[in-house]
Amino acid sequence: MRTRRLVGAVLAAGLVASVAGCSSEPADDAAEGEQSLEVWTRSAAESAASYQMVFDAFTEKTGVEIDYQPVVEFDTQLQARASQKDLPDVLINDASSLGTYVAQGLILPIERDSIEGQGDIADETWEQNVGLDGATYGVPWSRQANVTIIRKDWREKLGLEIPTTWDELSALANAFATQDPDGNGQADTYGMVVPGSAKNGYIARWGNSYLWQAGADILEEDGEGAYTSAIDSPEAEEAMTFIRDQFCTPGNIVPGSVNLTTAETPFFAQGTAGIYLTGPYNISSFDAAVGAENVEVIPMPSGPEGSTTFAEGENIYFGASSEKADLQKQLAEFLITPEAQEIAMKIETNAAGVTSQPVVRLPVNDKVDVAAVTGDDRWSIVAEDYANDSKTFPWNIDFTAFRQILADNMNAMVADCDSDIPAGLATIDEQFQAQLEAQDLVK
C-alpha cells in the first residue's frame, strides 16, 4: 500500500509539473515589469469588500498590484482554469480543501521557515497544513469554530434560559415556532436555520457537530496515515435521530430546509427564524439586520458526550502554474502580519454601500487578540469554543468525496421521517470504505 501511496504522490507531482509547464508567465517575477498577482477568494460581496481593503493596503505598501477575483462558485471555476493549465497565482480558500488540491496538483508546497513572520503562528496551526507526503501546503490565514447564534430578544420575551443541552435547544426552537416570539400575532416564525442541502456538503458541515457531541466520529486515523470508517456506530445513530427529529418536528427547522444552501437561508437576518449554528462571519451581518443587541452568541449546547463544534479555516495557497514565487511569498507574508489580520477583521461600509464581513474570523497571528480588535465579547466565545472544544474534518486527505457521501446520506435520512437510520449509516460506512481504498488510505 505504501508503494501505491508513493506512486500517487509522484503522479500528483506530475500534475503540478503539467499545470506549471503550460504557464504563459515569465520566469522572473520582475520580467517585463510584471509586478502583479491574480488572487482568487471564495467570496460574495460582503467578504469581497473586506479582502479588497486588505489588498489595497498591500498594494500601497509594496506597489504590487492585485488582480482580485472574488468567486462564489470557487471550485467549479477553479477546475475550469485548471483544465486550461492557467491557475490564479494565489488562492485563498478552505483549509479543508488542502488534500483535494494536493491530490489534483493545483497548489505548490512551501517552506515554512522561508516565510517571514511564520513564528507568530502556532506550531499546531502550521501542523494542520502538512500533507500526507510530509510537505507543507498553504500559509494559514484564518481559523474559526461554528457557534450557535440566537435571537436574544425572542428568548427573553418568552422567559427562556440560554440552552445548554440538546433537549433545551430543541425546546427553544419549538418555542420560537409556536409562541409568537416577535409578537406580531402571526404564525410566521421558526426555530432553526439549517442549510440542509447535500450540495457542496452543506448539511454535513452543519450536522457534524452533533455527531461529535454524541461521541461519534467519521474517520479514525492510526497515526501513520491510514484511516478506517467510524461512522456506523450507536453514537452516530443517536446523533442522526436527534437531527432527524428536528427536521420532523413542525417549525423546529424552517420548512424546506433539506433543499437549501447557505445562500438560500436568509431567515435569521429576515427575522423569521431565531437559531443558527453557523460560522461567526455572520455576526456582523445579523447585527446590521436585526440589531446587535438582539444577537447573542452562546457556548455550544452539549450532547451526550460533550459540546464539540465543527472548526474550519482558510489558507493562502500558491497556484501551481504561477512563476511569481517571490510575489506569492511577499503577499502571504503581509497577510499574516498583525496589520493585515486586523484590517481583515474590520467592519466598514465601502463606497458602493457594501458593509464588509470579516474574512479573518480568528486570527492565526498570536499577537492579535480578536476581542480586543473587535471590541466585542461575543468573539471571545468563538475563540474559547475553537481553542477548547473544536474539531476539523481531516484536511490532509482528499476529503471532498467523504464529505459529499456524508452529506448525500444525511440529507436522505432527514428528508424521510420514517428513514432507517442504521441502514443509512451502514450505507455511509460501505461508501467510506470504498473511498478509503480508492485513495489508498487503508493499511
Q: Do 19 and 82 touch, CB atoms closer than 8 A?
A: yes
The packing angle between helices 421-438 and 400-415, to 10°, is 170
Kindly give the pairing relationship between strand 273-278 and strand 309-318: unpaired
Structural domains of the chain, ranges and CATH numbers in brackets? 2-144+314-391 (3.40.190.10), 147-278+399-438 (3.40.190.10)
* Cα 93 to Cα 317: distance, rounded to the nearest angstrom: 8
Residue 24 has pLDDT above 50, yes or no: no
pLDDT of residue 317: 99
CA distance 396 to 131: 5
**What pLDDT digit, counting tens, does each position of 248-265 carry?**
999 999 999 999 999 899
When pLDDT is cut at 50, 70 and 90, the band that residue 290 belongs to is very high
Please tell me the predicted confidence (pLDDT) of residue 19: 56
d(CA 121, CA 208): 27
Decide if 356 contacts 347 (C-beta within 8 A). yes
pLDDT at 107: 98
Residue 78 above 80 pLDDT? Answer: yes
- List, in sequence order, every residue forming a beta bridge with 276; answer none if it has no partner: 149, 193
What is the structure's pLDDT at 11?
Answer: 39
Distance from C-alpha of 137 to C-alpha of 99, rounded to nearest angstrom: 9
Q: How many CA atoms lie within 13 A of 210 on its CB side?
A: 25
Q: Please, what is the average pLDDT of the chain? A: 93
Instruction: Examine the pLDDT at 218 and tell me if it is beyond 50.
Output: yes
**CA-wise closest residue to 88 among 42, 123, 40, 55:** 40
Quick check: 154 pLDDT over 90? yes
Write out the E strands in 65-189: 65-71, 90-94, 109-110, 136-137, 139-145, 147-151
Q: Are 58 and 331 in contact (CB under 8 A)?
A: yes
pLDDT digit string (tens) for 372-394? 999 999 999 999 999 999 999 99
pLDDT at 10 over 80: no
In this prediction, residue 443 carries a pLDDT of: 76
pLDDT band at 438 (very low <50, low <70, confident <90, very high): very high
